[in-house]
Amino acid sequence: MSVPFEGLIPATDQDAIAGVPARYVAAPATTEEAAAIVRAAAEKNLAIVVRGAGTKQDWAAPPRKLDLIIDTGRLTGVVDHAAGDLITVVRAGTPLSELGEKLAPAGQQLALDAPILSSTVGGTVAVNMSGPRRMLYGTVRDLLIGVTMVRGDGVVAHAGGKVVKNVAGYDLGKLITGSYGTLGLVTECVFRLHPLPAAHAYVSRRVAGVAEAGRIVAAVLGAQVVPSALEVSTAPDGGIEVCVLVEGVPEGVRGRVETTRFLFGGDAAVSDTAPDWWATYPWGPGGVGFKLTAALSAVPGLLAAGLAARERHGVPLAVRGSAGTGVLYAGLPGTTSPDVVAAVLADLRAAAGRAGGHAVVLTAPSAVRPQLDLWGPVEGLHLMRRVKEQFDPDARFAPGRFVGGI
């Protein structure tokens, strides 16, 4: 099979994205090569989806059109790690795990404990993936200080820079974060780093119900524990695990662990290893995954709504996430019938709305997805369409994957 221009290879069945076959694959090694490919693709009017490690290509909606996959597998490596300035410049195709290994010898970390560590930096930015420690360190939007991207017309643009404190120009890094690859191809990211803590401990307890979990969560938030993470996770039998991660200097961690144990009450356990559910999504391969958000005080209510939906629809709905920030995830087996998934989603969406947040479907099997409104209500959608129209007027990048069919 011939390819329309140099640098492409024919795609295989394995390259299909959420059931949509691709025609070609390109794997540029530099920003310049990537820009040349996008320019050539623009001339041929090819639709592009960017792929990192491919760990979340079943997230969001399938592309409406797919000609070319730009694989970032060769756009890898740490370009710079200025340890004294606590920043790193890293190419988008670098896996998070590899970046972590590069930074650790200097006693530093990119404080993104994302649930999928084999994900690339670019993929993590694209879907705004975060983990339990977002409570202390924030998310991609708080850590990404500079970005290099290729626009749909092949123009290379930078925003931000290599210093943490910087208000020159618009913060395109935030706009790109969570944009699901619809605004352009990110080739390089600059992140602020944090020191690795000298000590840490997990305090956890299993409680019978939402009321007790809510009491513990509120107590920890109101105390002087300064947790790095405050997580809850439902167990299949209706119980709820609550777990706090405390990080810092050994002297400090000891005292805060004691405070936390006191606040937890009962038989709280202390460990230096995380529970096995920690920083994992509550769904398996091919499952249905939801992201639920809430105002902080409404988290117990949202949790309760999740458990109620489990009862009402007779499904093994699992709910897990950051009670300290108001971001929960819920999962169903991929074999759940589409009607039931839709009914559960309706319940969760109503509950999240009451809680001041949203319920979105992150992933679902292709048999289920067409029956779901993945995103629900989106404020400012008309402005988002205009942003897309400006950045990518030909809908070159990931057409149809994002909110409102963007």
Partner 1 sequence: MTTAATTDIDALATRLRTVLGNERVISDRQELRTYECDGLAHYKVIPALVAFPHTAAECADVVKACVDAGVPFVARGSGTGLSGGALPHADGVLIVTSQMRRILEIAPADERAVVEPGVINLQVTRAATPSGYYYAPDPSSQQICSIGGNVAENSGGAHCLKYGFTTNHVTGVQIVTPDGDLVRLGGRAPDAPGYDLLGAFVGSEGTLGIATEVTVRLVRLPESVRTLLAAFPTTDAAGAATSAIIGAGVVPAAMEMMDALAIEAAEAAVHCGYPAGAGAVLIVELDGPAAEVEAQFVHVERFCRDNGAFEIRIARDDAERALFWKGRKSAFAAVGRISPDYIVQDGVIPRTALPEVLRRIGEIAAERGVRVANVFHAGDGNLHPLVLFDDAIDGQAERAEEVSGAILDLCIEYGGSITGEHGVGMDKAKYMPRMFSADDLDTMQLVRCAFDPRGLSNPGKVFPTPRLCGEVPGRHKGVHPLQEAGVAEVF
Footprint of partner 1 on residues 317-376 (CB under 8 A)? 325-327, 352, 355-358, 360, 375-376
Q: Tell how strand 8-10 and strand 359-363 pair up.
A: unpaired
- Binders of partner 1: how many residues, by CB under 8 A? 92
| Shortest spacing between CB 358 and partner 1, in angstroms | 5
- Which residues inside 120-159 make contact with partner 1, applying CB under 8 A? 128, 130, 138-139, 141-142, 149, 151, 155-159
3, 16, 164, 219: which one binds partner 1 (CB under 8 A): 164
55, 88, 177, 204: which one binds partner 1 (CB under 8 A): 177
Of the candidates 396, 333, 326, the residue with the CA atom closest to the CA atom of residue 149 = 396
Q: Does 243 bind partner 1 (CB under 8 A)?
A: no
61, 175, 186, 274: which one binds partner 1 (CB under 8 A): 175
- DSSP assignment of 275-316, as one string? -TTTT--SS-TT-EEEEEE--GGGHHHHHHHHHHHHHHHT--
42, 86, 304, 340: which one binds partner 1 (CB under 8 A): 86
Separation in Å, CA 221 to CA 218, 259, 297: 5, 12, 10
Pair of tokens at residue 41: 């693709």
| Cβ contact 144:125 at 8 Å | yes
Distance CA 401, CA 382 (A): 16
Residue 12: is it exposed, middle or buried by C-beta count within 10 angstroms (0-12/13-18/19+)?
Answer: exposed
Q: Does 211 bind partner 1 (CB under 8 A)?
A: no
Binding string, 25-64, against partner 1, x = CB under 8 A? ----------------------------------------
Closer CB to partner 1, residue 16 or residue 223?
223
Cβ-Cβ contacts under 8 Å for 329 (sequence gap 6 or more): 281, 282, 283, 289, 290, 291, 292, 319, 320, 321, 362
Binding string, 270-309, against partner 1, x = CB under 8 A? ---------------------x-xxxxxx-----------
Closer CB to partner 1, residue 27 or residue 303?
303
